[in-house]
Structures are given as structure tokens and as C-alpha cells.
């Protein structure tokens, strides 16, 4: 069947389904400045207005949490439905032949969802992997980030074959020197327009400064040159850059999970009220040698062009790292947002969402009240990202309870957004009008 015809039929079927249903002073003798008393900037509503809709649930997909009606906040005129159920679904990427791949680290699988008239056909693409998480395509080559290595496969006819290793010996909980202690073992991967491969190595803990001197270094974004070779640090001080993607202009961006329980610079004490909104999480454009501060510097302020201040717990005299000398971070999230999946859209969606970044916000675990889960949109223009907007919300009730926690959001070939949720075990389809 010609791809154009397949896409038309695919879109028609999906439309029917929708109906059913986280320093200042640069010298040691300078105190850290008093940070802004303003809390982290809340996200703006969608640019087109917002409406609350009932999530459509096709027959057979109505197990908990969809055993009762669930409502989501979406742009006016858009719809949202449960497209598939995949327990503990994490990151997602579309294949060249129009299937959606879902990583499931807990089972060691990459699941392939192929659209069909009766709903997506589910089949394992890869099994027996070690906590597979991030995925990326460069034409017909599929890259997979496991916790201990980055691998590449030839992808064709719905199969991944000819496995080869891109980067091996990566640290995870099985590394002998770590003795099972690794808080951020899951890794992400993306491929630049020149064929360079970038992947994340998270920190072992909240403020484990020894990660910066480890071999290979942890809390980094690594780069493998085009054609292969040893991986080298591309960006450092990246506590947990789970979100990793290439922007429309070919630049590399990361969404970072920042510090927990940071002390108030004014008092040196860990005050829950301060912790609630500090430090913001980073959404940063990476250049060779970029330093993002962890664990010696934290960003403060926002939402855009956010400067660094000294961490008074880990860098009290300012001699560990000159925080004031670090370039500001391009964009931010509210503290403890826990951004996970990051992808870019470049014409796949209608205006005003045609170009920008989509980010799955998992929501906080240590904030009161909890930071809400959502899917965020950052508009793209002139090589930069505008301020955060909420694309999809409504996953959290006023009492802080949640029925879902988005992980990743990717635009599909039919002009809709597909969202993974590891808490609800679901893949949602968010559809603009007429899609």
C-alpha cells in the first residue's frame, strides 16, 4: 500500500477511535546573593485556550485507572484517547515504517505498536535487554540506550537485526564499584545530523560529587564521533539529563532532573518552603564543553536565561566552581518537575504548536503540594525556545492524588501527539481538530 494512502487510512481510524471513547559569588569572600523570593514560574495554559475533556477509552482498554472516567485539560478543540495499554511504558519513537516503539526498562523490552484497523498490533521488537530506555533513529539505523551500553541495529520490515556496540562498559547498578547503588541508571540517546551519537549518563545520587571524576565520568552527556570511536564528554555537571533530543537547527538539547533538598543560601538550612521551589530544573542547549553546574551550582530565577548561584552545601566557599562564570540556562521548569522525555516537532502539528519542544513532566515526589504531571510545550523560533506552556494537564487532583504521570510525548505521522504514561500503563493519542 502506498504510504500516503496508509497515512490517510491510519488517520481516519484514529479519529474514529478518539470519538469512542532540578553561584552567585565568583570569589570565596563573596556571600551568595539572596535568591528571588518568587516561586518558580507556573506554566502558561495552551496558546489556543484550554478545555477539560473526558479521555476516551476503547473497549478492552478500560482496566484501572480507566475503570472510571478520567478528565484531561487539552487545547480547545483537541481530543484525547487511550490508544494502547503498555505497563510501565517509558520513552517512545516512531519507526521509518510508521510503527511506534515503546521502551519498557522493567522487562528489558522494546515494544513495537503497529497501527491497524482494530487497534495497534503489539509485538516485541527486542527482548532480553538491560533496562532499555532511550531510542533514536538515523535513517534505518536504530540506536538503543541500555543501562550498561549503547547499541545500534539495522531496522527493516518491522525487525531489528545486526546488533553492534556503540559504547560499552557504562555504569549502572551492576557496576562492581557501585555495589548496587545507582539512582539514575536509565540512559537516553540521540543522533546529530552529522551522525554523532549523544547519550546521557546520570549521577549515582543527589549530590555524589565523585561522579565528576569517575571513569567514564557520570553526570554527563557523552558524544561518539561520526563513524564511531571512543565516547567523550560533551557536557558536564548534568545531574540526570533524561530528556535528550536534536532541535530543528541540529543543536543538542537536554532536560535535566535537578537537585533535591537544597539549602536556602540565606540561612544555610534545608527549609521545606525553600526546597519547594528551588532549584528550577534545566532545559539547556548543549555546546562542546558546556557545564551545567551540578552539584556545585544551581540555577535560580527564570523562566528563561536563568543564572547560576553557588550551592552553599557543596560549594560554600565558591572554590569548587565559579558559578557566576557559567552561561545562563536557556529555559527552565518548576523545581521538582521531573522532566523525562524530550522531543521536537517541526511542522507535524498545526499552529500554534507546529514548531517546538514537547516534554513529559512526571511530577514531583518530594514537594508539598506536589508538582503536577503534564505534557509541556516550548515554542521554537530563531534557534531558541520560548517559555513553557501546558499542553496537557489534569492528571492530578486537588488533594495531590494522581491517575497518570506522563513520560514522553512524540508527534506521529498522522499529525497527533502520542504520550506514554508509566503510572497508568498507557499510550495516549492527543489529536488536533480533524485528526
Q: Are the C-beta atoms of 310 and 317 separated by less than 8 Å? A: no
Average pLDDT over residues 313-340: 98
Q: Are the C-beta atoms of 433 and 419 separated by less than 8 Å? A: no
Strands 290-291 and 232-236: parallel
- The pLDDT value recorded for residue 48 is 67
Which grid coordinates belong to 8?
A: 490517510
User: Three-state SS for 432?
Assistant: coil
Q: Are the C-beta atoms of 376 and 43 separated by less than 8 Å? A: yes
Q: Does the structure show a pLDDT above 70 at 23?
A: no
Cell numbers 569572600 label which residue? 29
Instruction: With cut-offs at 50, 70 and 90, classify the pLDDT of residue 178.
Output: confident
Average pLDDT over residues 267-282: 97
Q: Are the C-beta atoms of 396 and 421 separated by less than 8 Å? A: no
231 CB-near residues (< 8 Å, 6+ apart): 167, 199, 216, 222, 223, 224
- Express each pLDDT in 151-168 by its tens digit: 999 999 999 999 999 999
What is the full DSSP assignment across 240-297? ---EEEE-TTS-EEEEE---SSPPPTTTSS--HHHHTT-SPEEEEEE-TTEE--TTTE
- The pLDDT value recorded for residue 177 is 86
Instruction: Tell me how far apart the alpha carbons of residues 163 and 34 are, in angstroms, rounded to a whole number.
Output: 53
User: Three-state SS for 8?
Assistant: helix
Average pLDDT over residues 14-34: 34
Which grid coordinates belong to 259?
A: 537537585
Q: Does the structure show a pLDDT above 50 at 187?
A: yes
Instruction: Tell me how far apart the alpha carbons of residues 396 and 421 are, in angstroms, rounded to a whole number.
Output: 13
Is the N-terminal amide bond of 285 cis, ω within 30° of 0? no
Q: What is the DSSP letter of 344?
A: E
**Average pLDDT of the chain, as a whole number:** 91
Instruction: With cut-offs at 50, 70 and 90, classify the pLDDT of residue 24.
Output: very low
Average pLDDT over residues 230-258: 98
Average pLDDT over residues 377-385: 96
Cell numbers 514548531 label which residue? 355
Query: Vertex 330, ends 404 and 359: CA angle to 5°?
Result: 20
Instruction: Tell me how far apart the alpha carbons of residues 257 and 206 are, in angstroms, rounded to a whole number.
Output: 10
- Express each pLDDT in 96-114 by its tens digit: 999 999 999 999 999 999 9
List the beta bridge partners of residue 167.
150
Q: Are the C-beta atoms of 160 and 182 separated by less than 8 Å? A: no
Q: What is the DSSP letter of 210?
A: G
- The pLDDT value recorded for residue 400 is 94
Q: Does the structure show a pLDDT above 50 at 9?
A: no
- The pLDDT value recorded for residue 28 is 31
Instruction: Tell me how far apart the alpha carbons of residues 36 and 126 are, in angstroms, rounded to a whole number.
Output: 48
Instruction: Tell me how far apart the alpha carbons of residues 412 and 232 are, in angstroms, rounded to a whole number.
Output: 33
- The pLDDT value recorded for residue 435 is 86
Q: Are the C-beta atoms of 146 and 102 separated by less than 8 Å? A: no
Q: Does the structure show a pLDDT above 60 at 280?
A: yes
Instruction: With cut-offs at 50, 70 and 90, classify the pLDDT of residue 20.
Output: very low
Please, is 295 exposed, middle or buried when counting C-beta atoms within 10 Å of its C-beta (0-12, 13-18, 19+)? buried
Instruction: Tell me how far apart the alpha carbons of residues 300 and 324 are, in angstroms, rounded to a whole number.
Output: 11
Q: Does the structure show a pLDDT above 70 at 428?
A: yes
- The pLDDT value recorded for residue 117 is 85
Average pLDDT over residues 355-372: 95
DSSP element (H, E) containing 201: strand 197-201
Closest to 369 (Cα-Cα) out of 38, 8, 40: 40
Please state whether 272 falls in left (phi above 0), alpha (psi between -120 and 50) or beta. Answer: alpha
DSSP element (H, E) containing 5: helix 3-19
- The pLDDT value recorded for residue 269 is 97
Q: Does the structure show a pLDDT above 60 at 30?
A: no
- Express each pLDDT in 59-105 by its tens digit: 999 999 999 999 999 999 999 999 999 999 999 999 999 999 999 99
User: Three-state SS for 150?
Assistant: strand
Instruction: With cut-offs at 50, 70 and 90, classify the pLDDT of residue 180.
Output: confident
Q: Is the pTM of this model over 0.85?
A: yes
221 CB-near residues (< 8 Å, 6+ apart): 198, 199, 200, 201, 233, 234, 235, 238, 241, 244, 252, 254, 286
Instruction: With cut-offs at 50, 70 and 90, classify the pLDDT of residue 340.
Output: very high
CA atoms within 13 A on the CB side of 91: 28
Q: How far apart are the first and last CA of the chain?
A: 21
- The pLDDT value recorded for residue 238 is 98
User: Three-state SS for 391?
Assistant: strand
Amino acid at each position: 500500500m502506498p504510504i500516503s494512502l496508509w497515512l490517510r487510512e491510519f488517520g481516519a481510524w484514529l479519529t474514529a477511535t478518539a470519538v469512542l471513547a532540578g553561584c552567585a559569588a565568583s570569589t570565596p569572600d563573596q556571600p551568595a546573593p539572596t535568591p528571588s523570593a518568587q516561586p518558580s514560574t507556573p506554566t502558561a495554559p495552551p496558546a489556543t485556550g484550554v478545555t477539560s475533556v473526558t479521555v476516551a477509552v476503547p473497549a478492552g482498554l478500560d482496566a484501572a485507572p480507566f475503570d472510571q472516567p478520567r478528565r484531561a485539560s487539552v487545547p480547545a478543540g483537541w481530543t484525547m484517547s487511550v490508544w494502547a495499554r503498555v505497563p510501565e511504558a517509558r520513552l517512545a519513537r516512531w519507526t521509518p515504517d510508521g510503527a511506534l516503539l515503546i521502551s519498557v526498562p522493567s522487562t528489558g523490552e522494546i515494544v513495537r505498536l503497529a497501527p491497524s484497523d482494530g487497534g495497534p498490533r503489539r509485538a516485541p521488537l527486542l527482548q532480553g535487554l538491560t533496562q532499555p530506555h532511550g531510542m533514536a533513529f538515523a535513517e534505518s539505523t536504530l540506536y538503543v540506550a541500555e543501562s550498561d551500553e549503547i547499541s545500534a541495529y539495522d531496522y527493516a520490515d518491522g525487525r531489528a537485526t545486526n546488533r553492534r556496540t556503540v559504547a560499552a562498559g557504562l555504569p549502572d547498578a551492576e557496576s562492581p564499584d557501585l555495589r548496587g547503588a545507582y539512582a539514575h541508571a536509565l540512559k537516553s540517546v540521540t543522533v546529530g545530523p552529522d551522525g554523532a551519537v549523544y547519550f546521557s549518563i546520570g549521577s549515582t545520587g543527589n549530590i555524589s560529587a565523585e561522579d565528576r571524576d569517575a571513569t567514564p565520568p557520570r553526570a554527563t552527556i557523552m558524544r561518539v564521533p561520526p563513524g564511531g570511536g571512543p565516547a567523550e564528554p560533551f557536557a558536564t555537571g548534568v545531574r540526570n539529563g533524561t530528556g535528550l533530543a536534536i532541535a530543528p537547527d541540529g543543536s543538542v538539547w537536554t532536560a535535566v532532573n535537578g537537585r533535591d533538598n537544597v539549602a536556602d543560601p540565606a540561612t544555610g538550612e534545608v527549609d521545606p518552603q525553600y526546597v519547594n521551589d528551588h532549584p528550577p530544573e534545566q532545559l539547556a542547549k548543549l555546546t562542546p564543553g558546556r557545564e551545567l553546574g551540578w552539584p556545585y551550582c544551581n540555577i535560580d530565577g527564570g523562566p528563561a536565561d536563568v543564572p547560576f548561584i553557588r550551592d552553599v552545601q557543596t560549594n560554600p566557599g565558591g572554590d569548587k566552581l565559579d558559578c557566576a562564570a557559567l552561561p545562563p540556562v536557556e529555559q527552565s521548569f518548576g523545581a521538582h518537575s521531573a522532566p523525562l522525555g524530550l522531543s521536537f516537532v517541526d511542522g507535524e502539528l498545526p499552529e500554534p504548536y507546529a514548531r517546538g519542544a514537547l516534554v513529559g513532566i512526571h511530577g514531583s515526589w518530594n514537594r508539598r503540594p506536589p508538582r503536577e504531571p503534564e505534557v509541556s510545550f516550548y515554542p521554537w523560533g530563531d534557534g531558541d525556545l520560548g517559555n513553557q506552556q501546558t499542553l496537557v494537564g489534569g492528571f492530578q487532583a486537588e488533594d495531590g492524588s494522581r491517575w497518570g504521570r506522563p513520560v514522553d510525548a512524540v508527534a506521529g505521522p498522522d499529525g497527533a501527539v502520542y504520550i506514554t504514561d508509566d503510572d497508568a500503563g498507557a499510550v495516549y493519542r492527543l489529536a488536533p481538530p480533524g485528526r
